[in-house]
Chain A
Amino acid sequence: MKRIEVKLSLPVVAPLLDLIKAAVGDLGGRLAAPQHLQDLDEELRTAWQADLLGGQNDDCRRFLALFDREFFASGTVGFDEANAESVLRACAAIRLRLRERELKNLPDEVIEGAGADVTQLGAAAAKAFMCYVFLATLQELIIQHLDSAILDG
């Protein structure tokens, strides 16, 4: 099984985890992406959304499990075909929530280019933007190194 281990800077990443956990907590009862399910009858829509929410919560739990005792000892997190898809989806969900909750005042073009000047943001928005970029970096690493495992899985 192909596995990549990433050494993260503890002083940089550890302070971001509280905000990431808050976003995950906020996602506990809601879906990250907008839903367009008006064509479904109510019973099906309810079951559909419950299934999506269950999957989203499971992905977020698996993502947060990366930041365990070993991470705080060594700064290392590992990705393989067993967790890559869940981590990718969790990062997407958390980034969507951060954009909705903490970064809603940034224009789309700034968000799309990840080009915000953090020195021009308030402290809360700057931290949220660092989380947003950090999660994108994890996604890029997984896509770059584990795309075959994901596509074949």
Chain B
Amino acid sequence: MTLLAHAIAAAPPASVSAGGLRGRPLAWSEAAAGLGLWSTEWTPDMKLERPDALEHHRLVERICAAQPCLPVRFGTAFASVEAARASLDKRAEALHAALARVSGKSEIALTLLWREPAATEVVLPTAGPGRRYMEARRAEFASREARRARAESLVERLIAELAIERPLVWHETCTSASVAVSLAVLVPTEQAHERKADLARIASGFGDVIAVANGPWPPYTFARVE
């Protein structure tokens, strides 16, 4: 039997009214440092499928609703309870600090999608092939840089209008041709829906992007332990 990890929480474990993935038993493995791991009792021959990832998410949501927790990256497994305990004990101090950081908080996600494909300048058809190539490259670079600058300015406006501290915000810009901004905000759970509405309202004022707000979610982005 292996353990498929879901979340880390402080001992004692809360009562979680759910089984593990695919109806298998949900286990609590307590380490010496006052931490424990919620996981599903799994077998190595069972391959993970896409629905398992979404079920893992729902399970982490239920655990985080029951007690402060750190979501573990999906797909993490331990060969034994002892291996899980040893892993927690090795990083106990950092895990306690991360738990304190996210306790009572949830993550709101905001994605800004470009309304239109990137515009590029038309290169003069009378120019020679070498110049046309160089001009096309220059136009492409200029377009990309303009979009990146615009995306960064949108992030700055969101942070300023939301009046939130920067350590509570994570973002990436222009991760694909469609995505202008992918942003996550850590907010108090009791204000999560209000803050989500605030984010959506602010972003709806940006004319060149479509805003998609999601959450509240467990604090995936802010659970990172260095």
Q: Do the two shown chains form a genuine complex with each other?
A: no
Q: Which residues of A contact B (CB under 8 A)?
A: none
Residues of B at the A interface (CB closer than 8 Å) are: none
